[in-house]
Amino acid sequence: MRLLILGTGGMANQHAANFKAIEGVSVVGGVDVVPERLAAFCTEHGIANHFTTLEEALAWGEFDAVANVTPDRIHHPTTLQAIAAGKHVFCEKPLATDAIKAMEMTEAIERSGKVGMVNFTYRNSPALQKGRQMVLAGEIGQVRHVEASHLQSWLVGRHWGDWKSESKWLWRLSKKHGSNGALGDIGIHIVDFASYGSGLDVAHVFARLKTFDKAPGHKIGEYDLDANDSFTMNVDFTGGAIGTIQATRTAAGQMDQLRLRVYGETGSIEMIYDTGKSTLRACLDEDVHTATWRDVSFDPVETNYQRFVQAVRAGKTQEPSFRRAANIQKVLDKALASDLSHADEALG
């Protein structure tokens, strides 16, 4: 499989490294509007062909698939261009900045017959995959309650750099630069994590979003710091369960932690991904009478990158698909609407 990487910012390095490690995959081209960044990226990863526009790359055409690692608002137009040119697409999350655009992309890829998948990174957690299997196997009975959180702290600590001076972080705080804030950036991950791990879909959302005062006049240079930094959701799931989903970039002491607890009628399961480390615990069977939690072992799982390559070779999309990402985007759109209306919003 010959792969073109579109957008050569920070996350593109993960795409290049992971795809190059898969036997039979060649990263043959890179695209970026910033020539210096593009040149440095292609040199680092040994990529022979580089282009400053997607149009130039498509005119060349010597590739089978595109890894779309552009900023969120650019996913929609560029992915549609790639689909129209007959390419498979592996898109960074979110698929689009709203559900209407995401569904347009979904319908386009499905009509084309090409593979379209979205990089919900935390699907790579073996604890999540094993925990979901246990829930679906009925090991905790019918799900009744769900707690989910995604905690980061890069607005507090400098472990990933100084957000006040680096554009790769500042754009994530600015609506006019295409950001939907914590909701769009990490909210999409924890909603997917909670829904996938519990085996349930969100039916209703009641949400609150908060943007904190981070600079004089809520502005640094060209960046208006108006995107949300934290959110909470109360949700109803299909099947009758209820739950809470929350995320923030201000949780000092938590570099990148996703935690999901699924409580059922006969037991509970906890799935944690914490800055690269997965943990799985359960309270099952007789342990429910003593409130005893035990570690659960799990095996390694394939990554999204590996599944995408397999899907292209087989000609059949695997999960997480464009349609899955579009449905998760509907939840985020309803959360935004709920914050404005101060009312419960139903998923249609």
CB count in 10 Å sphere of residue 224: 17
One-character DSSP codes across 184-232: IIIIHHHHHHHHHHHT--EEEEEEEEE----SGGGEETTEE--S-SEEE
CB 320 within 8 A of CB 307: no
Mean pLDDT of the chain: 96
Q: What is the structure's pLDDT at 296?
A: 98
Q: Provide the angle, in degrees to the nearest 10, between the axes of the packed helices 188-198 and 322-341.
A: 110
Task: State yes or no: pLDDT of 218 exceeds 90.
Answer: yes
One-character DSSP codes across 50-63: EESSHHHHHHH---
Tokens of 253: 């002491």
Strand-pairing partners, residue 65, are 3, 88
Q: What is the structure's pLDDT at 71?
A: 86
**pLDDT tier at 242, thresholds 50, 70, 90:** very high
Q: What percent of the chain has pLDDT over 90?
A: 95
Task: State yes or no: pLDDT of 193 exceeds 90.
Answer: yes
Smallest Cα–Cα separation from 76: which of 21, 118, 111, 115?
118
Q: How far is 202 from 147, CA to CA, in rounded Å?
A: 13
Mean pLDDT along residues 123-135: 97
Q: What is the structure's pLDDT at 348?
A: 77
Mean pLDDT along residues 203-208: 98
